[in-house]
Amino acid sequence: MHLDNVLTDNAVLAEIGRRAAEHRVARGLTQSEFAERAGVTRSTIQRVESGGSIQLTSFVKILRALNRVDALDNVLTPEVRSPLAELERARSRRQRVRHAPTAATPEDDAPWVWGNQGGES
């Protein structure tokens, strides 16, 4: 069976379980032996092989025991960005912040004096 988006979640889990069992049997391992190699419980192996839900860390351990962690590269491939899109993104990235000068007020044009020299006593 080919996995695709038309399948229900349960159908996908059942197919993953079927494939895991197939790989385990091809290696001549019992569920108990396979669980020990993977570092999970036998009930976890039973659950995955019957199409049940398991924790992601358990799934990774099972893949590691099957020497198939590299298969995850096909699951979530890195996003590929076009060079032109990257160039455009780099161009639009701000390099620094500059505030526009404020308008001068008449007070700003007056010469600076010490507080007690302003002519007021």
Average confidence (pLDDT) over 46-74: 95
Full DSSP string of 6-30: TS-HHHHHHHHHHHHHHHHHHTT--
Give me the phi and psi of 83, to 5 degrees please. Answer: -60, -35
Whole-structure pTM value: 0.63
pLDDT, one tens digit per residue, over 13-23 is 999 999 999 99
Which sequence spans correspond to the domains of the chain?
A: 9-74
The listed CATH number (1.10.260.40, 3.60.15.10, 1.10.240.10, 3.40.190.170) that belongs to domain 9-74? 1.10.260.40
Q: What would the 3-class secondary structure string for 38-70 be?
A: HCCCHHHHHHHHCCCCCCHHHHHHHHHHCCCHH
Cα gap 24→27, rounded to integer Å: 5
